[in-house]
Structures are given as C-alpha cells and as structure tokens.
Structure 1
C-alpha cells in the first residue's frame, strides 16, 4: 500500500467516552484533542488513519479489573454477572457521557453523525465521524420516553444489554469455554424496544445478547442483524462469540459483524493475554468472510474497553493491521470494505440514508 493510513478505518465499537468520564468528564474532554494515555485520541487517529466509529455510552458496574483479568488468564473461567443497574442510577451516567460526546463535537474533535451522508461528509472533510451508541440500555425507561429523547439528541445505535441483566433481557457472561446459550431471551419490554428501534431507525447491536435473546431479535426485528464487536465461536469458544448458526442468520439478514480486538475473544485458549499475533485476527476475519460474505465484515475494536493485541495497542498502530491484511492476500477492494465501506453499507440499509 502506498499510504499506510489508507483506506480509512471506521470502527464498530470504542469506550473512550467511559475513559473520559472517569478522567474528568466534560472538563477533561479537550485531552482527546491534545493526547490521551489510552488507545484513542485525535493525534493517534491522524497517524493511524482512523476516521471514526461507534462511540459507546456505557454505565459501568463496580469491578476489580485486576481480579477480572487474573481470572480470565486461567484455562477455564466463569465470571459472575454483575448486579442489575436501575434506570434512576443509570440516567445520570448516560447524560454525563453523552455530554462529553457533545463537548467533543463543540470542540471540533468529531462530528456526531445522524445519517450516512453525515459520515461521508465527515470523512471527506477529515473530521472524525461519531455514532452516538449506547451499550446496555439501563438508561432507557420501560415507556421508551428516554429513547425518543436520546434519538432526538442523535442516538442511532443501541445494545439492549451489556453482560448483565436489564429490563430488556439477559446479557451473555464472560465464560470460557462456553456456548452463548446461557439464559433466557428478551422480555416483553425488550420486544417493544426492538420494534421501537426499528420504527426510529436505531441500529440494534447484538454483541452482548445471549443466544436466546439473539434469536428473539431475529424473530421480532425487520432490520439487518448487526454484532458490532464479536468474533467466531468456532475459533474461540467464548460465550461472547457467535456460532455458525448465528453467523448464518446475520448473513441472511444482510447484516454485519465487526471483528472484536479483545484478546480473550480472539485466542483459541480464551485467555486475557496480549501476545496475540495479527495472524490470529486474520483467522477470525477469514472465518467471518467465509460465513457471512465479504460485504458483511468490518472492525469492532473495543478500544479503551479491552486488552487488545500488542501490535494494535493504539489506533496509531492500525497501519500494522492494514499491512497484515495485504500480506495475507486481501486485495485493495476487500480491505476497503473491511475498513469502512461495509459499515456504511449496513448503516445506510438500517437508517435509510
């Protein structure tokens, strides 16, 4: 490739809003422009050819990360699901992180995109394109009033659950080895949420739903099935990964899978260790392409929310991944599809323009 920053990468999932929320909130948003200690910021984006993606608003559970990662470094593990979080507790966190996203737009760091035309315009102008996404819908009330308000504010993508139960359904736990078939499916409220998102044109992210919930969405949604940051269960038998049957459903809906960089979902042994060669990422990409087609696979890094392979620690390292794809035999057209074109295709189909 002539320019290691091309084609531009549009990514299915990041947690930089959570990082900024923990490190000063709105008042610290300017650090995203000058430089952060994590995986993402504007200077790194310019080096790596990162043009934007899904910016997740996420309400964290109290967690001992060191203990969690230690447990996930064992040959087998089953982390307990965190306790549910109620709407009244979740809403202030959702508002605070959304305010950070709006402040980043005010500062000129990014553009919140409400349709694909907005994304294309941002890419053409060189400004980061951001999709307002919610991961785990604890901040949405059962009457869906909050959903309508957030949609008016720019929300265009939502995952009904993270890996804990909500009024909408059950999340899939962090368990290895394990099937994703770990519990019950969507609640009646969850089915209403799915239908309202279809009506509004809000994309539904299935990455953290268990298998029963996944199939409930298949039955009740009329939109393409999308898992923004998930991998192939046939390679890594983690509960968070997608089975062949799920991949077939995504293919048949003309949906999308974003390759998750989180090492525990990449490695054959499911361990949380960063010594993962890029070839292992390409194994998952090969498998996903074989099962859903080259028009339905992209990237969903989970940057600033997961341990990722050492060769792609920051978005400034993304040229390493492009080079690996090229050396693996992917042609320019396929690399461009994986890097950003497939995301724009599925969003245009979901949002209607």
Structure 2
C-alpha cells in the first residue's frame, strides 16, 4: 500500500539549521523540528533557501551554499530525514518512516545573473525555483507587501529572468510564483509550458494583501495544472487581527476548492513564529502565524481538513496534489 504523503510546501527552517549549527549545536532537525512533523503527520517538507536582506547581494551565494551545507551535515547526524530529488525518493523515504525533504530557492538572489549557477544548485539537490522573494533581483520584481506598491516595482521578467525560467524547466525544476509580482506572474503563465506552483499564497479576493493571488492568477494557475499552498501567516489569512484563525485559512481553502476543485489546493504553511532566525525584523508583533508550530497546525488545520473533506480529497489537498505536479515536472 502506497504511503500517503502529507507535505508542507514551504518552510524556512534552513535558517535555523545553519544558525544553530554555527553555535555548535547538532542534529537540529531531529531535536527542533522532527517532533512537530511527527505530531502533525507531516512526512515531506519543502525547505526554502531564503536570504536575509542584509546579505543581498554580495553574501547571497555564500549564504545559500552555507544553508545547504548545514542541511547535509545535519541529515548525516539523523536517520529520520532524507534529501530527495524525485517523487520516487520522497515516497521511498516516507515508506521507510523518514521525513522527505525537497530543496527550493526562495528568490534567485544566490544566482546573481549567472545562469550557470542554476545547474550547480540543481546538482546540490535543489528542485524548486522561486524566482522572487518580495524584492527586486536580476530576474524579476517581487510583489510588495504594501497595499499600494511603488510603480518602480511593477516590472515584468528581465531577459535573464526569462532565460532562467527556461533553464529551470529544461532541468526539470518546479517554478514557484509565490512572492512574484503580478506582471511577472502573467509572463510566467504565458511562457512556462508545464504546471507551476504558488507554494504559499492565499486568495486576494478574501484578503486583499498583494501577496495573495487574485482570481485571474488562480485561473491561470489552475489552467496550467498548478497548485497553490494555503499560507498560515496571519495577514494573508485575514485583514483583521482578531479574524486570523484556522477557520479563516480554511475559508481560503474552500474558496480555491469551490472554484477549481480539490486538485489545485495544497498546504504551504510558511510558519515563521517558531523560527529563532526570523524573530528579528521579519516577524512583526501582531503579524504572527495562525499556528505556533507544526504540532498546532496538525491539531487545528490538518485535522480540520480531514474532517471537512472526503478522505481522497483531503489526501490530495494535504500533499498528493503537489506530489502529482512534482512528478510531472521533475520526473518520477
């Protein structure tokens, strides 16, 4: 019997793995994150390589490589994790009782404008490419967190960005449009001929943050066979702080399902409040996650999805949709 995959499509835990290992700690994954994954029933995680503002541009490449190196070292100290480069490796890891990890670049900053570096990251195991975080890089503009984005951040893909998207597709890397601005999204939707994802984006119709996807974007995503992952960061679930509840996030999920079916919805929780490395400057007071950690998300979201939907629908939403897309783009 095939092991069901429950996948969080976006987690910045590599920042903590690197930071804590630099302090002399070991087996960070096992000690800090495994209990939450086990409690929630999560057996696959997309680990994002996220570069802090202060390291851009000069330190981006070095820090990205440091994060990946720290992950390799930590996996060696634990029998509970496996870095996966394909869906078959993911399923084998889960069947063996381990947590499958995929690597993603959250923003192209580590590449500078050097297309050859993408192959280097691919060989290191990176299988997903988020073209942008919410800032400008050589490939594109990221979406602003502000309701009124400056006109200067409204650019589409650069020539390098188009070259980068094409090379990622050639290598079999999944394109991730979360944090990409609207103009860049529209261009990706027209030039990418395989399904793409928004790993951690909710619905702009329900919560007007620019970080969420408008209906026209969800239309393109679904038409391409893509998946969007529900994001548990409070401001993207509800405008009012008092309304930032699990039910608000489930409402975003219901909206996607009602318009496009269960096959285009997933889970990309983007939990930051449990990360030491993001507590300075990146997680603002009052803007905390709906869930304090993965244990909490398991109790108040994953369980609710299983109660709300039929078994096969819940399985799809909680991981199998992303795995189906990964297999189509990466290969089995």
Structure 1 and Structure 2 fold alike (TM over 0.5):
yes
Relative to structure 1, is the Cα distance of residues 166 and 178 closer, same or farther in structure 2, using a 3 angstrom cutoff? closer
SS in 2 for 1:149: helix
* CA deviation string 1:47-103 (max 9, x = no partner): 2211121101111014xxxxxxxxxxxxxxxxxxxxx922x4211100110112212
1:192 maps to 163
Q: C-alpha distance in 2, partners of 1:184/1:118?
A: 38
Relative to structure 1, is the Cα distance of residues 147 and 204 closer, same or farther in structure 2, using a 3 angstrom cutoff? same
The residue correspondences of 1:251-330 to structure 2 (distance < 5 A) are 251-269=222-240, 273=241, 276-304=244-272, 307-309=288-290, 312-317=291-296, 318-327=298-307, 329-330=308-309
SS in 2 for 1:232: coil
SS in 2 for 1:242: coil
Q: C-alpha distance in 2, partners of 1:110/1:275?
A: 36
Number of equivalences: 315
SS in 1 for 2:263: coil
Q: Retained in 2: the 8 A contact 1:179–1:237?
A: no
The residue correspondences of 1:1-353 to structure 2 (distance < 5 A) are 9-25=6-22, 27-34=24-31, 36=32, 41-62=33-54, 85-86=56-57, 88-108=58-78, 109-176=80-147, 183-269=154-240, 273=241, 276-304=244-272, 307-309=288-290, 312-317=291-296, 318-327=298-307, 329-353=308-332
Q: Which stretch has the larger CA shift, 143-152 or 170-179?
A: 170-179
Q: Retained in 2: the 8 A contact 1:11–1:54?
A: yes
SS in 1 for 2:59: helix
CA RMSD of aligned residues (A): 2.3
Q: C-alpha distance in 2, partners of 1:175/1:7?
A: 38
Q: C-alpha distance in 2, partners of 1:274/1:11?
A: 25
Q: Which stretch has the larger CA shift, 313-322 or 171-180?
A: 171-180
Q: Retained in 1: the 8 A contact 2:7–2:267?
A: yes
Q: Retained in 2: the 8 A contact 1:137–1:161?
A: yes
Q: Retained in 2: the 8 A contact 1:232–1:284?
A: yes
Q: Which stretch has the larger CA shift, 100-109 or 47-56?
A: 100-109
SS in 2 for 1:126: coil
Relative to structure 1, is the Cα distance of residues 10 and 148 closer, same or farther in structure 2, using a 3 angstrom cutoff? same
Q: C-alpha distance in 2, partners of 1:123/1:26?
A: 30
Q: C-alpha distance in 2, partners of 1:114/1:321?
A: 28
After TM superposition, give the deviation of residue 279 of structure 1 in Å.
Answer: 1.1
After TM superposition, give the deviation of residue 21 of structure 1 in Å.
Answer: 2.5
Q: Retained in 1: the 8 A contact 2:107–2:132?
A: yes
